[in-house]
Structure 1
Amino acid sequence: MVQTYSQKANHNMRRPVVKEEVLHYMRTRQKQLDDPLKSLEDFAHQENIPIIQPEVVAYFRFLLEVLNPQSILEIGTAIGFSTLLMADCAPQASITTIDRNEEMIALAKDNFARYDIRQQIELIEGDAINILPTLEDGYDFVFMDSAKSKYIVFLPEVLQRLQVGGIIVIDDVFQGGDLTKPIQEVRRGQRTIYRGLQRLMKATLNNPGLTTSLLPLSDGLLMVRKNSSEITLLD
């Protein structure tokens, strides 16, 4: 029987990682945003518009510089904050972003007109479930940050358009921890989201055609890599 770690273990290794002080450290010690992204972040917080959190921003910087994607698809534009971040981190990439909220579309268009300096971004207006089947391009990176209950609905179309070896990042999958609870403990108004996310996890986490990982950043990221040309989602 090995005694080393039982006798000399660092007990902090067994404690939850994302505590308030750790979250504060991640959000204040990593590289901060410069304008125009900083101004867009401030505007989003002022107007209560959900955007990706600073720890996810830092992760995206790293991930996109490593992956060097050439063609990016985003579902859920909002004001264009994450779109412009991806354009900044992957200056060689073409980016297609989809949104159906008219107010957000107007704000995003204005922001893209000002800040999309390399003309990388194409904004498509409408419901993603109608638009995805019309897209002909193949993508090597997809970011999904829209209606959480619809992730599982969008996923088959997204996978068809994702190149083998491509990556999907899906935001806000833990729902403040609701995902881990029995449905009876989830507020009735949130149960449609809960069911959709449970279906998403069931379809992906142990799928032999996918490599997946759950990351405890912000409200949780689901990372999906497409490993073969034909993917059957699990029921």
Structure 2
Amino acid sequence: MENEITYPHINSFLAEIFEQADPLLKEMEELAHKNYIPIIQPESAQLLKILCYISKPERILEIGTAIGYSTIILARSMAENGIVDTVEINEDMIEKACGYIKRAGLEDKIRILNGDAEEVLQCLGTPYDFIFLDAAKGQYIDFLPHCLRLLKPGGVFVTDNVLYRGMVAKKGFIEHKHRTITVKLKEYINLLCRNEELITSIVPAGDGIAVCVKKRKS
């Protein structure tokens, strides 16, 4: 499935610019590519890193750990004494993530919460400075109320894959297997952009990233 968010020559150029220099992350990228494990794209990862450096969060919530690729990026980019809580239901992914997190020396900084994301979110009460949502796209709308509740005023909320290879903006026929997710993502983007609690930007990088800040109460 082609990415219609940016031009192919732009994608190639950015792939060269953001070629991974870190051996551990490079290994994770190769594993993900070989086994069709979804991880954040290089240009999106760079944006995530910058947002972390700017906001200096002490508590991060990640929804969708997979093998821990973005988890490690977040943990390395946040405040020195910070903690990342990351949610994952797949035990095989958790096992792989734990191995990589240990090799990165971040086992004291990252806590994996094993379970269904919506059920785990319902049990959380302490607010977060930064939330990164990169899980089942069809459930983003279900996760949103929990994310808004758990995000501190002034906090950053980032969602990956919101443009879904460009199909969210596509006119005309969309294959049935992609249609439901596309409709749900359009609704999700509208909810973000129309929410009076949030300031939202949709960035056409990678697979599309929504960057939101929760307004501080005046």
TM-score w.r.t. the length of structure 1 is 0.84
Is the contact made by 2:88 and 2:114 (CA closer than 8 Å) also made in structure 1?
yes
Q: d(CA) in 1 for partners of 2:19 and 2:96?
A: 26
Aligned position for 1:159: 148
Aligned position for 1:222: 210
Q: 2:69 aligned to 68, 81, 88, which one?
A: 81
Is the contact made by 1:31 and 1:58 (CA closer than 8 Å) also made in structure 2?
no
C-alpha deviation, 1:195, in angstroms: 2.4
| Structure 1 residues 228 and 99: alpha-carbon distance in aligned structure 2, compared to 1, 3 A threshold | same
C-alpha deviation, 1:31, in angstroms: 6.4
C-alpha deviation, 1:19, in angstroms: 1.9
Q: d(CA) in 2 for partners of 1:31 and 1:194?
A: 30
| Structure 1 residues 140 and 38: alpha-carbon distance in aligned structure 2, compared to 1, 3 A threshold | same
Paired residues for 1:103-118 under 5 Å: 103-117=92-106
Does structure 1 residue 179 correspond to structure 2 residue 185?
no
Q: 2:57 aligned to 55, 66, 69, which one?
A: 69
| Structure 1 residues 110 and 177: alpha-carbon distance in aligned structure 2, compared to 1, 3 A threshold | same
Does structure 1 residue 140 correspond to structure 2 residue 147?
no
Greater C-alpha Rg = 1
Q: 1:27 aligned to 5, 12, 15, which one?
A: 15
Aligned position for 2:199: 211
| Structure 1 residues 96 and 71: alpha-carbon distance in aligned structure 2, compared to 1, 3 A threshold | same
Does structure 1 residue 50 correspond to structure 2 residue 38?
yes
Does structure 1 residue 128 correspond to structure 2 residue 117?
yes
**Structure 2: gaps (5+ residues):** none
Q: 2:97 is aligned with what amino acid?
A: A
Does structure 1 residue 193 correspond to structure 2 residue 181?
yes
C-alpha deviation, 1:126, in angstroms: 0.7
Classify the secondary structure of the residue corresponding to 2:131: strand
Q: d(CA) in 2 for partners of 1:181 and 1:30?
A: 28
| Structure 1 residues 30 and 190: alpha-carbon distance in aligned structure 2, compared to 1, 3 A threshold | closer
Q: d(CA) in 2 for partners of 1:33 and 1:60?
A: 17
Is the contact made by 1:212 and 1:225 (CA closer than 8 Å) also made in structure 2?
yes
**Structure 1: gaps (5+ residues):** 1-15, 230-235
C-alpha deviation, 1:118, in angstroms: 6.0
Is the contact made by 2:57 and 2:129 (CA closer than 8 Å) also made in structure 1?
yes
| Structure 1 residues 91 and 68: alpha-carbon distance in aligned structure 2, compared to 1, 3 A threshold | closer
Is the contact made by 1:149 and 1:195 (CA closer than 8 Å) also made in structure 2?
no
TM-score w.r.t. the length of structure 2 is 0.90
Aligned position for 2:87: 98
C-alpha deviation, 1:206, in angstroms: 2.6
Q: d(CA) in 2 for partners of 1:118 and 1:31?
A: 26
Q: d(CA) in 2 for partners of 1:206 and 1:175?
A: 20
